[in-house]
Amino acid sequence: MPAGAQANYANYQLYAKLYPNAYQNFTPPTGPVKYCESTFYLGNTYQQGEITAFKQMIAKLAKDGKAESNFIVQNSNNSVATQVSQLQSEIQSGCDVIFLNNNSTTAFCDQYTNAIKKNVLVISLDPSYCNNAITVSFDVYENSYQLAANLYKGMNYQGNLLEITGIPGVADAATATAAATAAMKGHPGLKVVGSYTGQWTASVAQTATAQWIASHPGIKVDGIIDEGAMGVAAETALQQAGRPLAKVSLQEGDCQELAFQKQNPSLVTYMTDQAPAPGAYASMNVALRILAGQQPALDTILYPIPGPTAATFNQWYTSDMTVSSACFASPKPALPAITSYLGQFFTGGTQVASFPEPS
């Protein structure tokens, strides 16, 4: 593991495993590359955003004759079995590179092996417990820990918390909850007064928060533990109920979060930009390096999540963003650092002339 990357692997062993790179014998295809995507839920705005970013980058590659313009996308609608068969069909149908959003850490192991045999490069954007795929992601535990720790610090380690969790049963959701709980240790002044799922969906989180408020009329909320894309929705529910807004750490880096931060700078204790476009860019960056013959030592490449600071906030925020915006900020401020960071993982091969950027 490169020395400059070790901090981003501090807690990864808590929810996934590391293996050596299994693509040592991968032979890059000649001619335009056929890119495909297998996603588990296209209804999710985040996954839609990733696909949009991939489409934009592939269009640029196709213009230079380096990719086929037809980008195949398959959606399994949260069915693991369906996604396994879809991944299999993509491997069989001549895809050279497959980007994978998976919601199971173990279900795809056989297909990863199958892909290696067929000389197909599978880049997983989510953690897995098996070898034979290249995972490009970030340390979910560390990110969640930092978000929670900064929230608690912003509350002076005193007050009532609402905890809004992701989709029950999904590894990332459990990891985020574990990290938020761990960050609370040693601070008895903090109390979780409500914990419920918002399923990483703003409207669900808002309805659940409204129900919680209705059933807890006398309890003040001082902070919101947002475990992904639900913090502003919970704040909206508080506002619509005539309650004071609470402190929150935000991690999605989308337009509504940036607008909320702009309007309520004293309430947002920490912010990261876990947006889809930087993730898609990092995955494409790794794919292009491997296609150029470069090789990483590990099968799992973790990158630090970028995020706006007080000094760089205006690089992300634009004046047309509102708390009703469902867009993502431009990823461009984050991209040079990602390219530079990923370079340390690779050896051999040829240099990639340029990495296309999402628009």
Question: Residue 214, Cβ neighbours under 10 Å: how many?
Answer: 10
294 binds other proteins (CB under 8 A): no
Q: Which range binds other proteins by CB under 8 A, 48-56, 116-124, 140-148, 292-300?
A: 48-56
According to CB under 8 A, which one of 47, 83, 101, 177 is a site residue for other proteins?
Answer: 47
Contacts with other proteins, 250-279, as mask; x by CB under 8 A: -----xx-------------------x---
Nearest by Cα to 95 from 76, 121, 130, 74: 121
Contacts with other proteins, 208-227, as mask; x by CB under 8 A: x-xxxxxxxxx---------
48 binds other proteins (CB under 8 A): yes
Q: Label residues 174-190 b or e (16+ Cβ within 10 Å = b).
A: bbbbbbbeebbeeeeeb
Tell me the site size for other proteins, rule CB under 8 A. 48
Nearer to other proteins, 65 or 218 (CB): 218
Residue 156 beta carbon to other proteins: minimum distance, rounded to whole angstroms: 27
Give alpha helix (H) positions in 297-356: 313-316, 335-343
Instruction: Give the type of residue at 18.
Output: L
318 binds other proteins (CB under 8 A): no
In angstroms, the CA 124 to CA 66 distance is 21
Q: Which two tokens stand for residue 186?
A: 């040693």
Residue 220 beta carbon to other proteins: minimum distance, rounded to whole angstroms: 12
- CB distance 266 to 302 below 8 Å: no
245 binds other proteins (CB under 8 A): no
Residue 25 beta carbon to other proteins: minimum distance, rounded to whole angstroms: 36
Give alpha helix (H) positions in 101-166: 109-117, 140-154
Residue 99 beta carbon to other proteins: minimum distance, rounded to whole angstroms: 15
Residue 215 beta carbon to other proteins: minimum distance, rounded to whole angstroms: 3
Q: Which residues contact 141 (CB under 8 A, 6 or more apart)?
A: 11, 12, 14, 15, 175, 176, 178, 179
In angstroms, the CA 296 to CA 348 distance is 9
Residue 174 beta carbon to other proteins: minimum distance, rounded to whole angstroms: 14
- CB distance 122 to 115 below 8 Å: yes
Nearer to other proteins, 212 or 341 (CB): 212
325 binds other proteins (CB under 8 A): yes
Residue 326 beta carbon to other proteins: minimum distance, rounded to whole angstroms: 4
174 binds other proteins (CB under 8 A): no
Residues in 134-173 at the binding interface with other proteins, rule: CB under 8 A: 168
Residue 275 beta carbon to other proteins: minimum distance, rounded to whole angstroms: 10
According to CB under 8 A, which one of 85, 326, 337, 340 is a site residue for other proteins?
Answer: 326
DSSP secondary structure string, 228-290?
SS-HHHHHHHHHHTTPPP-EEEE-S-BHHHHHHHHH-TTTEEEE----HHHHHHHHHHHHHHH
Contacts with other proteins, 180-209, as mask; x by CB under 8 A: ---------------xxx---xxxx-xxx-
In angstroms, the CA 177 to CA 268 distance is 19
- CB distance 72 to 37 below 8 Å: yes
Question: Residue 355, Cβ neighbours under 10 Å: how many?
Answer: 19
Q: Which range binds other proteins by CB under 8 A, 26-34, 50-58, 117-125, 130-138?
A: 50-58
**Contacting positions for other proteins (CB under 8 A):** 42-52, 168, 195-197, 201-204, 206-208, 210-218, 233, 236, 240-242, 255-256, 276, 320-328
